[in-house]
Chain A
Amino acid sequence: VKDLVGRDMTPAETRLVRTLKHVEALLSDPELPPCALANAREAYASLWIAANDLALVVGKPDGLPL
């Protein structure tokens, strides 16, 4: 899998993107109580910033309940 500039993603970068997707899925879980949802949002936003810094994502995380 490549990053935005065409380099192969490192194992750590691959794990970061995978974790981001896991947390994204968590955000739409209707059973999350407010305490969990709010902290999951924070976690997602922080992970997205990391992925963005490393040129692994492009655009903005629109459409998510952030």
Chain B
Amino acid sequence: MTASAYWNPKTETMPREELRVLQGKRLRASVERAWEKSPFHRRLFEKAKVTPRKIRSIDDLKRIPFTTREAWMDCQAGAPLFGDMLAQPPEEAVRYHMTSGTTGRTPLRVLDSRVDWKWIAECWCYAFHGFGVRADDVVFFAFSYGTFIGFWGAHYACEKMGCLVLPSGNMTTPNRVRLIEEMGATVVCATPTYALRLAQEAREMGVDLARGKVRRVIVSGEPAGSIPATKRLIESQWGAKVADTAGMTELGTIMMFECEKQPGGAHLVEDHFVEEVIDPETGKELPYGERGERVVTSFGRGMIPVFRYRTRDLVVKVPHSRCPCGRTFDVYDGGILGRVDDMLLVRGTNVYPRAVEAIVREHAPVDEFQILLRTVDGIRDEIGVRFEVRAGHEPDAQGCCRRLAEDLARNHEGLSFFVETAATGSLPRFELKAKRVKDERIVKGGGAPASPKAPAEKGAKP
């Protein structure tokens, strides 16, 4: 057996022309299957006058129309719980997950077959192996598990690779630090913000992580994972190298990872995905080097096909030659750069102002309100709602604070919200588009650790 820097040397170093042939064959097969088995996708193709016969190479991908989160949500809302987009009977599923964030109050729901679930772990293997994780590593997951897909795939990837896996579930932060020390973890997986939170806790406990055994920190779930200053901070506090990954629940796994050469960006997993970058306004594909919205097509998940899904993530794609590692997979320069829309990312959980408003407006005592984001103690992000009490509801104001906080947390995977009242007339009013989000965080879109209290602690969010 030869040692390889690549998990899959054959495809990771495949000449681009061959890679495109492979993508074309997988696209054709995926369209044929979705045409036959998924009514949602059949309608999509028919509307665009696309038939499987028209898909002859990867160049024909552009014949397929974009899909959106809204279309996915409408499909599932029209025929709960999964709509008519499944390409396999639900009885063949072995896994259920759902999105952490919500546009509206209904999360996206996903099912995975036995093969899907193994493929999800497989894609994570590209990342872990590519960043130097091996069978003799002890890998700690700061992840709450549950229906949040987060690091689930990474957990199984590490088991597959033969690592010793340390799942920390709902442990408190001090107990997590103790476990890392006690078991001699060599790799830690967390959101960037929670990696900092763990380091802070360790300092308070008198544990010097920089002199400990951890040599790699693998982060996901927030743009901060690719912000150089944040990475440097984590690296200095842990005495370890930090690598970013990114994925999404809609895919079930990651589609980009940093290799050990770390060229300032992340490789795309291009044997299993096609990543396009488009102008979010015109939908036109952008050339290398231009910032745009990433659009993903997946060849992996059998239960739910994904074609040209508009992710709303902002990226800049550059050629694989940016990196000296030898992979022929292209690179997202600087990772995920942000969001096209206004989604807020708080400790690894997506928060949509529109969804918050939908919840807030169900509480009668709320008059005007504001969504507040702030950084506490220099590193920990908090989100909350401040509201003016509607006249006549004053006696119920404190009860409303409690109920609203519970309601918001329940709809955001347990993310804690503080809720407080404001003096009447103190909050801004708007004549046109309301701007109710007041973001005072040091790093917008993430960048600060989770609360030390267990329920809000999050793992990464593909």
Contacts and interface: CB of A to CB of B under 8 A. Distances in A.
Contact of A49 (B30, B32, B122): B122
B21 A53 contact: no
Given A45-B114, A54-B8, A4 B119 contact: no
Contacts of A6: 18, 21
Contacts of B21: 4-6
B115 A58 contact: no
- The secondary structure that dominates the B interface is helix
Interface string B26-45: 10011011000100000000
A45 B122 contact: no
Interface in B88-129: 88, 92, 113-115, 118-119, 122
Interface in B1-33: 8, 10-11, 14, 18, 21-22, 25-26, 29-30, 32-33
Contacts of B115: 45, 48-49, 60-61, 66
Contacts, number: 55
A19 interface: no
A62 interface: yes
B88 A5 contact: no
Given A53-B271, A55-B11, A5 B114 contact: no
Contacts of A45: 114-115, 118
Given A4-B22, A45-B115, A66-B115, A55 B33 contact: no
Contacts of A49: 115, 118-119, 122
B92 A58 contact: no
Interface residues of A, number: 20
Looking at chain B, what size class is its interface with the partner chain?
20 to 34
Contacts of B37: 62
A60 B33 contact: yes
A62 B114 CA distance: 12
Given A41-B114, A62-B33, A5 B122 contact: no
A31 B92 CA distance: 21
A19 B14 CA distance: 25
A52 interface: yes
A62 B34 CA distance: 12
Interface string A34-66: 000000011001101100111100111110001
B338 interface: no
B302 A60 contact: yes
Among B26, B32, B113, B115, max chain A CB count under 10 A is at B115
Nearest to A41: B114
Nearest to A10: B10
B83 to A, nearest CB: 19
Contacts of A7: 18
Contact of A5 (B22, B29, B33, B302): B22
Contacts of A62: 33, 37, 88, 302
A53 B114 contact: no
14 contacts: A4-B21, A4-B25, A42-B114, A45-B114, A45-B115, A45-B118, A53-B271, A54-B8, A54-B11, A55-B271, A58-B29, A59-B29, A59-B33, A66-B115
Interface of A: 4-7, 41-42, 45-46, 48-49, 52-55, 58-62, 66
Task: Give the top 6 A-B pairs by smallest Cβ distance, nearest first.
Answer: A60-B302, A59-B29, A5-B18, A58-B29, A45-B115, A45-B114
Given A5-B18, A7-B18, 11 more contacts: A4-B21, A4-B26, A6-B18, A45-B115, A46-B118, A49-B115, A52-B119, A53-B10, A53-B122, A53-B271, A54-B8
